[in-house]
Structure 1
Amino acid sequence: MWAPSAPSPAPRGARTWIPLPEFTVEETYTWSRTGGPVGGSRISGPTRHGGQPNRRGIGAASSSSTSHHTPNGKTKQTTGRERRREEEGDLCNRGIGGGGGRHCSDPSPAATPMGSEAEITGPLLAAGGGGGGAPGAEPEAVPPWREQVTARGLAVSAVLGVLFCLITHKLNLTVGIIPSLNVAAGLLGYFLVRTWTAALEKLGVVSRPFTKQENTVIQTCVVACYGLAFSGGFGSYMLAMDQRTYELIGPDYPGNRAVDVKNPSLGWMIGFMFVVSFLGLFSLVALRKVMVIDYKLTYPSGTATAMLINSFHTSTGAELADKQVRCLGKYLSISFIWNCFKWFFSGVGDSCGFDKFPSLGLEAFKNTFYFDFSPTYIGCGLICPHIVNCSTLLGAIISWGFLWPYISTKAGDWYPANLGSNDFKGLYGYKVFISVSVILGDGLYNLIKIIYATIKEIMNARAKQGRLPLGRVQDDDEGSKLSAEEKFLNETFIKDSIPPWLAGSGYVGLAAISTATVPMIFPQIKWYLVLSAYVVAPLLAFCNSYGTGLTDWNLASTYGKIGLFIFASWVGQNGGVIAGLAACGVMMSIVSTAADLMQDFKTGYLTLSSPRSMFVSQLIGTALGCVIAPLTFWLYWSAFDIGNPDGPFKAPYAVIFREMSILGVEGFSALPQHCLAICSFFFIASLVINLLRDVTPKNVSRFIPIPMAMAIPFYIGAYFAIDMFVGTVILFVWERMNRKECEDFAGAVASGLICGDGIWTVPSAILSILRIDPPICMYFKPSLAS
């Protein structure tokens, strides 16, 4: 996927278009602020996880005509509208996969579409000054960096961090698809601070003005916090270590040993988060000027977020933002009330209520084809590009409509007929390993593609005396008009520097602490293995951050899986499973956080925010996330049956990650009959489909499905794909009826549906902890005549 060219600043007062969030699939698929697949899927918008996945970002398009580099090296002129339509076909948090991660990371994470269907109108980067505008205009006053980090901003960040961690965990533990919540973070941060200041004014208390720099700091802090709910592996590598996942795979499964178990505990989870989550912030901070100014990397998600925040702080943008907040609040209330109503009919167990409504018939219901009335998944369908939603539905049809029914007819031939539904020696093993093969094929292809693009651009830079042609191509007249604004942006960005000695000493010191501490938490991974990971991590972090700037894909979960296989095979049968999973967490945390930081630096650059305030905000948000993410996960762990394959909280990527670690130790000898051949076919098919998406013309490739998105329903089921497809149909019809209204409010509607469902999690968990069961069980069965 190729990054769109940087948008041109619009004249003051001009109407421009700002895309709202879409999925980044990161495998948890973190479509999350973490960018690529994490082991779930994370979808990202202008974000950091996406998975989770899977922090997948969105491209920003202005209405001006720009040029960008195509894969064959040629320069192509496109308008902003054309570019947005072209990018629609590209996948998300990141990141499908993570998990995973684009944080949809992200996306979390989690991969990830680079263009979005929902947009916000308002002035673009030039809005509000910034040194641009008419010749001789006074530059915008920029507050000192200490005034950009405020107590009220941190309080708002903590509140939103709790909310978004709850949402991320719920998505991570159910289907592993996490949409980008960056736009919601920016919008709700704006709303809460404006409400705060308005209330104080009515009490006669004068408060400081709310600036776009403070808004940027809040958004950065919130995303840093909830990004750890994805990259922390609570639905993937960390949960893969627990007793439930071990028993689900089977005690007699080769390589699955009882000693390779570590159950979740608040103590070690919080400690592990603190010792591994900060290193990524120090690994590349010294290169911020190189990445943002010298290389002119576009970081489309960061650019789109900056446009959004800039538009809030203009008169027309503020008016629209108020309408969007009211719209978000309306659908948040509807979603919350609907979930409350559903609860009364959900009974005891997992077979009651609207979540098990056989809307397409009882036979289809047996193969997971039904609509479960989930506001979250409908909201995800509104945020994700059409191609992502259609890809998940196609994957559901292929797997649950044809492949699994066919393999089930081979019971007694390919595998024993009397096995349980969750036995890896039977049909369940085919479901898991075929899903893994598609995910690995997609991740490997995109990793190779981004490394190739990175090497190619670096070689071009050397040939052209260090200048990377990644920014928008300008003619001489336009370049001279923009030079004053660019100079002001550059000066502001460079002014509050972060000393290189601080970055270097911070990384070395934290690496030393982590090298000594991680083996205490996981004795299976020795100190020298942790140290070797930290030696190569900065190089991988640079590759991932550079690739994210080019393509908006955060492939942190892919790097994590590579670490998983290497360290699992390195340690071997004596502890290799846990060592591989722990190494995956170490690698993923560094690589993902570094890419997120650079994405935020791009946002700060375009909103005239101090790099020092952005860095401090990241540190505070990460510290909050190290506590909030485990605590909110523990709420789910205490209240619900996590990991039950027949329940709502399946935690699908926990099984997948443990199986990948076992494969790293044992190889392929334990696979069911013909499973390796079928997996090889789907692995190659994933590579070929991705290749076709890159080599065919845009008017053809936009209709080619995305393998990562197709893989998710292979294991989870078809029901969520139907929900997301309902969301994409609503979006499609809305666009045809009133495109302007759709562009303005679709993202707000989607965020409201997702947030309302997430807020309901708190009272639902409390009721579960107090053992208060729903009074009614609504279920369906064939009539007597049938």
Structure 2
Amino acid sequence: MARKVEEEEYEEDEGESIERVFEGQEVPDWKEQVTARALAMSALLGFMFSVIVMKLNLTTGIIPSLNVSAGLLGFFLLTSWTRLLNKAGVPGVKPFTRQENTVVQTCVVACSGIAFSGGFGSYMFGMSERISEQSGEVRDEDSIKNPSLGWMIGFLFIVSFLGLFSVVPLRKIMIIDYKLIYPSGTATAHLINSFHTPQGAKLAKLQVKTLGKFFAMSFSWGFFQWFYTGGKDCGFSSFPTLGLEARRQKFYFDFSATYLGVGMICPYLVNLSVLLGGIISWGIMWPIIEHKKGDWYPADLKPSSLRGIVGYRVFISISLILGDGLYNFLKVLTRTMTALVAQVRGMMSGPSLPISEAGGDLGPVETFDDQRRTELFMKDQIPNTLALSAYAVTAAISIITVPRIFHQLRWYHVATSYVIAPVLAFCNAYGCGLTDWSLATTYGKLAIFLVGAWAGASNGGIIAGLAACGVMIGIVSTASDLTQDFKTGYMTLASPRSMFVSQVIGTAMGCVIAPSVFWLFYKAFGDIGTPGSEYPSPNALVYRNMAILGVQGLGSLPKHCLDLCIVFFVGAIVVNLARDLAGPNIAQFIPLPMAMAIPFYLGPYFGIDMCIGSLIRFVWDHVDGARAKAFAPPVASGLICGDGIWTLPQSVLALAGVRPPICMKFLPRLTNLQVDAFIKSLPPPPR
């Protein structure tokens, strides 16, 4: 599971006009918006954010929105570069515009988005032999496909562009006709617009300075911690902050700057839901079920066997995820269809000219901002025939090539996906415009079950289901991302062509950068995907076991596991229903089942980190709310980025064979006495 946290929605006052502020500035042509310096900076930031997203993918899968950080850093770096060239007397340096800023933000988010939608912490890595061994299934060549840089890059190039082509013909309907909100895209546009005003530029400079300060602190802290990790279960991440017994049940603070930062960005309810899920599972359920060893499940199983305690952890978390996903899928789909039908009926029953100069009974008068934005948005159009032709050609290539990468996936599986995908892409893009919620992973999970069952266990249904999941997520995710960017471009007067081109370029960058970053992690840290390791990749096991369920059914579950799964599946639906019926005042205290599901397998330790981050933000909000609103996101981004970028030198040291010199480990007092006695009994080393 991976869920992008919603950004705070920024709204303009009705009496203000943003475009009046920029009225005297000439809007550059779309080719002048997609500049070489913008693309170069996008590649640099795209790589940095891909490293961060990959680290989060391979640990917990909770990924906060990085749009604000991308826009802020793009603004700072390019304004600094432009100012430096001007001071050096370089002729012909063009000013940095908000349209160019939008291109950078779009390109960076498209690039780092592939690190998520590429499935490196979920469906793609779930195909590997390492994850297969944890599932405890019978070894079968047709159910394994180990990572390789070549096929991963090829697969992403094949499936990641179809979603872009599928929604291009609908851009006017989404943005102009239906006036969908797209809260994240709107928030990002407001921020970019504010950066380019004199007051906003001054604030942005202070925000970047704050981000840089906490980036340096976080990076230095990661470097310091590394010296004490010279063995298994060594270092500050193994510090028994709540006691040794609590640590055995995964209750401890691991001094992670990343999840402190994530906690400061995430809504309080997300963080508390994660902690509550950890308390219910590791504090209550798992200790009780472990006492049933020998009754509910054999006592002599391997620790990683799904027929033992791990089976309860994995499948109950899956049931929570599926219950939450199913409810939200039906909710968003119903809301989407209802709103769509209402809008179509309104357009059909209304006058042919919905807006007149005088207003009157024919509809509301457009504001100056709306008129200006609509004029520019309609200026540089992307031919629908080009988009549809590109979709058809790319789909044909995919139908031929994807089965060559995954021989378990037949051509008709891929063809069926591409017939259905545009409808699902539209639903996801429309629903995202209403709710700011992308259901790309939910559509992917549906593909796992449907295609896996269609292919069958004897024909490699596990790999077929996981590969179909990748195809579906690749299409549906990029479709909603592009429409968000169209909304951002609409509000910053960036051309639809520049938005589309920057999204295509960013996606192409991501298809190379994201697999390369994963490959670096995979080679540098040899225990990726192993429980208890630095990068356990819990979602990979979850996705693989979904594929196993889809192919083999429920017969392999431990005793009473199915009963508990049904209880939690229904419970997730009931909790979501209660949230919707209770009203906003009460709903803010009802937990989120999807967030609760994450620690069921992984443990609550990162939830403790996130809650401490929430506590810092809560206190800051009450002490100085205005300053917290302006500077908490840069502080959090600095903590996340610094700790994430430290992974690069750490992986280089690991590849070079350089090991940390110290192991800091904590033992019970009696065990420590035994260790001391054993050391004293050893003969002295030779001189």
Verify the 8 A CA contact 1:461 1:467 in the aligned structure 2: no
Report the counterpart of residue 429 of structure 1 in structure 2: 311
Which aligned pairs between 1:386-397 and structure 2 lie closer than 5 A? 386-397=268-279
Report the counterpart of residue 746 of structure 1 in structure 2: 632
In the alignment, structure 1 residue 310 sits paired with structure 2 residue 193: yes
Q: CA deviation at 1:783?
A: 1.3
Verify the 8 A CA contact 2:373 2:490 in the aligned structure 1: yes
Report the counterpart of residue 571 of structure 1 in structure 2: 455
In the alignment, structure 1 residue 535 sits paired with structure 2 residue 419: yes
Which aligned pairs between 1:24-39 and structure 2 lie closer than 5 A? 27=1, 29=2, 31=3
Deviations 1:732-757 (A, max 9, x none): 00111110110010000000000001
Deviations 1:495-522 (A, max 9, x none): 0000010010000000001110000000
- Counterpart of 2:400 (choices 494, 497, 516) is 516
Report the counterpart of residue 724 of structure 1 in structure 2: 610
Report the counterpart of residue 116 of structure 1 in structure 2: none
Distance 2:252 2:36 in 1: 47
Q: CA deviation at 1:462?
A: 3.2
Question: Which blocks of at least 5 consecutive residues in structure 2 are unaligned?
Answer: 351-357, 673-687
Report the counterpart of residue 678 of structure 2 in structure 1: none
Verify the 8 A CA contact 1:251 1:258 in the aligned structure 2: no
Report the counterpart of residue 588 of structure 1 in structure 2: 473
Report the counterpart of residue 10 of structure 1 in structure 2: none
In the alignment, structure 1 residue 249 sits paired with structure 2 residue 140: no
In the alignment, structure 1 residue 60 sits paired with structure 2 residue 16: no
Verify the 8 A CA contact 2:164 2:482 in the aligned structure 1: yes
Q: CA deviation at 1:785?
A: 9.5
Cα distance change, pair 421–467 in 1 and its aligned pair in 2 (3 A): farther
Cα distance change, pair 361–280 in 1 and its aligned pair in 2 (3 A): same
Write the letter of the residue equivalent to 2:340.
I
Q: CA deviation at 1:629?
A: 0.5
Distance 2:18 2:635 in 1: 25
Verify the 8 A CA contact 1:127 1:314 in the aligned structure 2: no
Report the counterpart of residue 618 of structure 1 in structure 2: 503
SS at match of 1:657: helix
Which aligned pairs between 1:169-318 and structure 2 lie closer than 5 A? 169-206=54-91, 207-252=93-138, 257-318=140-201
Verify the 8 A CA contact 1:125 1:607 in the aligned structure 2: no
Q: Higher helix fraction: Structure 1 or Structure 2?
A: 2
Write the letter of the residue equivalent to 2:661.
P
- Counterpart of 1:385 (choices 264, 267, 285) is 267
Report the counterpart of residue 670 of structure 1 in structure 2: 556
Distance 1:579 1:125 in 2: 53
Verify the 8 A CA contact 1:295 1:467 in the aligned structure 2: no
Distance 2:36 2:349 in 1: 41
Cα distance change, pair 622–679 in 1 and its aligned pair in 2 (3 A): same
SS at match of 2:146: coil
Distance 2:498 2:295 in 1: 64
SS at match of 2:120: coil
Which aligned pairs between 1:48-197 and structure 2 lie closer than 5 A? 57-62=6-11, 64=13, 126-127=17-18, 129=20, 138=23, 140-197=25-82
In the alignment, structure 1 residue 735 sits paired with structure 2 residue 618: no
Q: CA deviation at 1:59?
A: 4.3
Distance 2:345 2:64 in 1: 39
SS at match of 1:415: coil
Distance 1:62 1:167 in 2: 29
Distance 1:783 1:592 in 2: 52
Q: CA deviation at 1:445?
A: 0.3
In the alignment, structure 1 residue 488 sits paired with structure 2 residue 379: no
In the alignment, structure 1 residue 653 sits paired with structure 2 residue 539: yes
Cα distance change, pair 63–618 in 1 and its aligned pair in 2 (3 A): closer
Distance 1:125 1:409 in 2: 64
Verify the 8 A CA contact 1:172 1:178 in the aligned structure 2: yes
SS at match of 1:411: coil
Report the counterpart of residue 472 of structure 1 in structure 2: none
Deviations 1:94-114 (A, max 9, x none): xxxxxxxxxxxxxxxxxxxxx
Larger relative contact order, structure 1 or 2 (CA cutoff 8 Å, min sep 6): 2
Verify the 8 A CA contact 2:19 2:369 in the aligned structure 1: no
Cα distance change, pair 125–522 in 1 and its aligned pair in 2 (3 A): farther
Verify the 8 A CA contact 1:125 1:306 in the aligned structure 2: no
Distance 2:132 2:230 in 1: 29
Write the letter of the residue equivalent to 1:353.
G
Q: CA deviation at 1:466?
A: 4.7
Write the letter of the residue equivalent to 1:208.
K
Report the TM-score, using the length of structure 2 for normalisation: 0.94
Verify the 8 A CA contact 1:447 1:558 in the aligned structure 2: yes
Q: CA deviation at 1:784?
A: 3.1
Verify the 8 A CA contact 1:331 1:752 in the aligned structure 2: yes
Distance 1:758 1:289 in 2: 38
Verify the 8 A CA contact 2:7 2:65 in the aligned structure 1: no
Write the letter of the residue equivalent to 1:246.
S
Verify the 8 A CA contact 1:58 1:552 in the aligned structure 2: no
Distance 2:179 2:137 in 1: 53
Distance 1:189 1:457 in 2: 36
Cα distance change, pair 706–353 in 1 and its aligned pair in 2 (3 A): same
Q: CA deviation at 1:484?
A: 2.9
Deviates more, 1:484-493 or 1:407-416: 484-493
Cα distance change, pair 756–366 in 1 and its aligned pair in 2 (3 A): same
Distance 2:125 2:206 in 1: 40
Q: CA deviation at 1:258?
A: 3.9
Report the counterpart of residue 345 of structure 1 in structure 2: 228
Distance 1:382 1:624 in 2: 29
Deviations 1:376-410 (A, max 9, x none): 00000000000000100000100000010011010
Distance 1:249 1:286 in 2: 43
Distance 2:653 2:19 in 1: 48
Distance 2:403 2:141 in 1: 19
Report the counterpart of residue 677 of structure 2 in structure 1: none
Distance 1:522 1:193 in 2: 42
Q: CA deviation at 1:533?
A: 0.5
Deviations 1:29-65 (A, max 9, x none): 1x3xxxxxxxxxxx24xxxxxxxxxxxx324143748
Q: CA deviation at 1:149?
A: 0.4
Question: Which blocks of at least 5 consecutive residues in structure 1 are unaligned?
Answer: 1-26, 32-42, 45-56, 66-123, 132-137, 469-474
Write the letter of the residue equivalent to 2:645.
I
Q: CA deviation at 1:465?
A: 2.5
Report the counterpart of residue 503 of structure 1 in structure 2: 387
Distance 1:235 1:727 in 2: 24
Q: CA deviation at 1:128?
A: 5.1
Report the counterpart of residue 681 of structure 2 in structure 1: none
Verify the 8 A CA contact 1:228 1:625 in the aligned structure 2: yes
Amino-acid identity (%): 57
Deviations 1:452-510 (A, max 9, x none): 10111122123322599xxxxxx979x97753321111010010000010010000000
Report the counterpart of residue 658 of structure 2 in structure 1: 772
Indicate the structure (1 or 2) with the bigger Cα radius of gyration: 2
Verify the 8 A CA contact 1:225 1:621 in the aligned structure 2: yes
Q: CA deviation at 1:697?
A: 2.0
Verify the 8 A CA contact 1:130 1:608 in the aligned structure 2: no
Q: CA deviation at 1:616?
A: 0.4
Verify the 8 A CA contact 1:125 1:606 in the aligned structure 2: no
Distance 1:125 1:711 in 2: 43
Task: Give the aligned length.
Answer: 662
Deviations 1:263-319 (A, max 9, x none): 100110000011111111000101100000100100000000000000000000000
Report the TM-score, using the length of structure 1 for normalisation: 0.82
